[in-house]
Homo-oligomer: A and B are copies of this chain.
Amino acid sequence: MTVDDETRLARAYLCAVAEPPSVALVELVTRAGPKEAAARVLAGEVSDRVAKETAARRERVRPEEILRATEQAGARLLVPGDDDWPEVPFLAFGLSGQAHLSEPLGLWVRGALPMAPLTERSAAIVGSRSATGYGVHVAGSFGFGLAELGCTVFSGAAFGIDAAAHRGALSAPGTTVAVLACGVDQPYPAAHHQLLDRIADTGLVVSEYPPGTTPARHRFLVRNRIIAGLATGTVVVEAGWRSGARRTASDALLLGRPVMAVPGPVTSALSSGCHRLMREPGTTVVTTAAEVLEEVGRIGEDLAGEHDVVRRPTDGLSPIMLRVHDALPLRGQRDVSELSADSGLPVELVRSALARLEAACMARRSGPGWCLSNNVGRDIAQGLRGGP
């Protein structure tokens, strides 16, 4: 780490003094540096814009206490300048709603792994808390499949899709990162206390909020910008027509990151948000972990293969051979002239097609004429029974 203790202390103060994303304060820090910025905020010697963000808390924040709480939580405060600070773009929306590029002033991290490398080949799996069994299954298998392929799985540790994605990745075993809308010391939701511990054991639990910060609804929306920023791409597995997951997706789109959505039954309200995304420009439909990796992986290395398909005996036939083949009887025989009339092909073309079909064991001589060879006859008859 190349960041000195005083700078980290100043960053702890700055992180806590303004409610993220504090666009004006971040600008001040960029201009004046964190130590100078923290001193000015504490003294109240800042512009009106910065004062608006910092006045409410400037005399209440105790950075030494925050760093003590950080240590007690088994966490660390990662700040720009640290070796494993992720050099990725983050979005922030000002109070009036306009989008800025604005990185967090710091990130609290629980877990031993360095953060930056985890973001390089990674995907966020997000979606509804009230997921269906289908959504949980898909999130789990995507989490597993991506982690198994060495791709970090980001999510928000919520019920439903988030938890299924984390669990899938943990079972691979692979690396997963939970990004919280509260302090990394808050077991939220309470039922995921153990899950968060397991994630921190082999991956990371991350938050823009200082230890002690409780979850609030506006923080979930703000948290989504961290997920969209850290992950190479974002997959929405299940989401209602209006959903926080859609917000993460729109943040990712603004950042030029791949946004993916998983299809589901059109009869399921919890897939309607995914289908809505698919009908908007910029979203890729994904059905497997391999297809996700194709979007977020290294170009040329992570191409999804063709689906496994059953080959049919007639697959390689030319249009002419197929027409003659279709005219052959299952039993009995037809002569070349009848086959010509039935297929609408000249006698010479029928003869050469028959020779090739015979060589491929798909036709055989039968008395004076021809019929289908025994081994394919049954397949074909079954294939034809209801049309192709």
CB distance from A142 to the nearest CB of B (A): 9
| A112 interface residue (CB < 8 Å to B) | no
Flag if A387 contacts B344 (CB, 8 Å).
no
Q: Is A197 an interface residue (CB 8 A)?
A: no
Are the C-beta atoms of A262 and B266 separated by less than 8 Å?
yes
Tell whether A85 is near chain B: CB-to-CB under 8 Å.
Answer: no
**Provided the pairs A216-B327, A344-B56 are in contact, do residues A271 and B263 lie with their beta carbons within 8 angstroms?**
yes
Closest residue of chain B to A221, judged by CB?
B388
Docked Cα-Cα span, A97 to B321, in Å, equals 13
Residue in B137, B309, B326 whose beta carbon sits within 8 Å of that of A267 in the complex: B137
A384 to B288, CA, bound (A): 32
Shortest Cβ gap from A213 to chain B (Å): 10
Interface 9-residue window, one of A101-109, A168-176, A277-285, A369-377:
A277-285
Residues of B within 8 A of A52 (CB): 345-346, 349
A106-126, CB < 8 A from B = none
List the B side residues contacting A318 at CB < 8 Å. 95
Whether, in the assembled complex, A156 has its beta carbon less than 8 Å from a beta carbon of chain B, the answer is yes
Interface size for A (C-beta < 8 A) is 77
| Complex-state Cα separation, A220 to B53, whole angstroms | 68
Chain B proximity of A387: nearest CB distance (Å): 5
Q: How far is the CA of A159 from the CA of B241 in the complex (A)?
A: 33
A326 and B307 CA atoms in complex are apart in Å by: 48
Query: In the docked arrangement, what's the CA distance between A137 and B268, Å?
Result: 13
Given contacts A217-B322, A272-B287, contact A344 B18 (CB under 8 A): yes
In angstroms, how far is the closest chain B Cβ from the Cβ of A371? 15
In the complex, what distance in Å separates the CA atom of A16 from the CA atom of B242?
57
A309 to B189, CA, bound (A): 26
A129 shortest CB reach to chain B, Å: 5
Q: Which residues of B contact A95 (CB under 8 A)?
A: 318-320
- Give the residue of B218, B221, B320, B386 whose beta carbon is less than 8 angstroms from that of A129: B386
CB distance from A288 to the nearest CB of B (A): 7
Residue of A188, A217, A385 ringed by the most chain B CB atoms within 10 A: A217
- Say whether A226 faces chain B, with CB atoms less than 8 Å apart: no
A244 lies within 8 A of chain B by Cβ: yes
Instruction: Give the distance to chain B from A193, nearest Cβ to Cβ, in Å.
Output: 14
- Contact yes or no, B264 A265, CB < 8 A: yes
- Are B307 and A272 in contact, with the CB atoms below 8 A? yes
Give the Cβ gap from A17 to chain B, nearest Cβ, in Å.
Answer: 8
Residues of B within 8 A of A384 (CB): 215-217
Interface pair A287/B307, CB less than 8 Å apart:
no
Find A343's partner among B56, B291, B323 (CB 8 Å cutoff): B56
With A156-B387, A220-B387 already in contact, 10 other A-B pairs whose C-beta atoms are closer than 8 Å: A22-B344, A52-B349, A53-B344, A56-B347, A188-B387, A189-B387, A218-B322, A220-B388, A263-B266, A266-B287
What 3 A-B pairs are tightest by C-beta distance, nearest first?
A19-B344, A263-B263, A56-B340
